[in-house]
Amino acid sequence: MALSARSPARDARRFRHRRPVGAALFGFESVLALSSGYLLALLVAARDLARRPAAETAGDGETPLRLAVLVPAYDEEEGIGATLESLAACEYPPGARRTVVIADNCSDGTAARSTQAGAEVWERTDPAQRGKGFALIWALRRLLEEDDSFDAVVMVDADCTVSPNLLSGIDGRLRSGASAVQVDYVAGNPGDSHVSALRFGAFALADTVRFLGKQRLGLSCGLVGTGMGFKRELLERTPWTATGLVEDGEYHLHLVLAGERAEFVPEASVSQAVPTSMRASSEQQARWERGRLQLIRAWSPRLLAAGLARRDIVRVHAGLECLLPPQSLLAAGNLGSLLAGQLLGNRRLQALSTLSLAAQITFVLAGLRLVRAPANVYRALLLAPLLIVSKLGLYARFLLGRGPTAWTRTERETSPEPRP
């Protein structure tokens, strides 16, 4: 009887201890639910834009922009030939373009191979300042000082192949009023392995679907480092100074803070072979995620402050989007909250985490359908738990002070064929 009399008291104390834990978890899950809701909103906007006709490029009677195509390369002898071949095959007047390969700290035959392919080669040697960001600063400064004839710059990585309409698509959008543009970025080898198929899906959702949605909503779509185009005047008033782990994201936020907006060109694309092994893919992800954390610290507060002060939704959005967790962490958070809700008997937490998880699954599946992802990409989703565990381990390394601190070259794969 004594034990029975004390049971209600113990239950009451246990309930009081659970309440603050449940409230904290509900607040955490509310942030995740907002993230899932944001992704769904982008999906709806992307579907609307995808149904519309592609943007028209310039007519035959209009004078094309004079383009300087920069190809930063570091020991790319084996694959740069395919990149230059695809650029040469672009449907654009040869006299209106100049292709320059930046052979940066190369120790192989990149320069010779590029010369054989008909490209102009600029060789740079500076072991103290290695990486794509430093190479672009050097090349853009030289280009702006030596050549006053070009109207815009296009940047393509040396391990990519491009669609035939890349230059004409960029040209049309720049002459329609854009100052900075980004074409679609595609993982070109989804059939090579389950890992590359999963990366195809990740690129399609993070770049194609979200960029379409942001374009439809009048936001700045973002930059991914290859397949980018900039007007000369933009580069003169906002010079490229980005040298971090994710120099493309850094420059994009710099542009947004300066009042600029990057526009999406979904009708043109660049394809890149992504790593086929989990190890190589994890190394690439480590650099990107560490770089993203650096962007949050350096740029989010500045963008939010400037956006709120000027009532500018583009700046506010760019500052907030940096905080959006990757799909793997979002899924881990939703699943963890659902389990915690069950253990605590918190029905509100269970309901919210279930709703957020359903919204995330809808975004993933409907987004893959929107981009017409091949069947093996859906099958590769079975690897998602491994990716979640890998991403959690990656962030644990960051908390312990480990992880990449400088640019490193990603393991190269065979260059894919350009997407038609």
CATH code of 339's domain: 3.90.550.10
Structural domain includes residue 4: no
Position 205 scores a pLDDT of 97
Percent of the chain with pLDDT over 90: 75
Residue 60: alpha-carbon gap to chain centroid: 33
Structural domain includes residue 45: yes
Measured CA to CA, the distance from residue 68 to residue 201 in angstroms comes to 32
Q: Which pLDDT band, with edges at 50, 70 and 90, does 93 fall under?
A: very high
- Domains of the chain: total: 1
Q: pTM of the entire structure?
A: 0.89
**Averaged over 326-334, what is the pLDDT?**
92
Structural domain includes residue 6: no
Structural domain includes residue 358: yes
DSSP-assigned letters across all residues of 308-372: HHHT-HHHHHHHHHTTPPPHHHHHHHHHHHHHHHHHHT-HHHHHHHHHHHHHHHHHHHHHHHHTT
DSSP-assigned letters across all residues of 252-283: HHHHHHTT--EEEEEEEEEEEPPPSSHHHHHH
Structural domain includes residue 355: yes
Structural domain includes residue 182: yes
64 within 8 A of 137, measured Cβ to Cβ: no
65 within 8 A of 151, measured Cβ to Cβ: yes
Range(s) of the domain holding residue 83 = 26-49+64-97+126-420
Q: What would the pLDDT profile of 5-17 be if each residue is shown by its tens digit?
A: 556 655 555 555 5
Q: Which pLDDT band, with edges at 50, 70 and 90, does 419 fall under?
A: very low
Position 383 scores a pLDDT of 85
Question: At 373, phi and psi to the nearest 5?
Answer: -65, 140
> Where is 133: in which H helix or E strand?
helix 132-146
How far the first Cα of the chain sits from its last, in Å, is 79
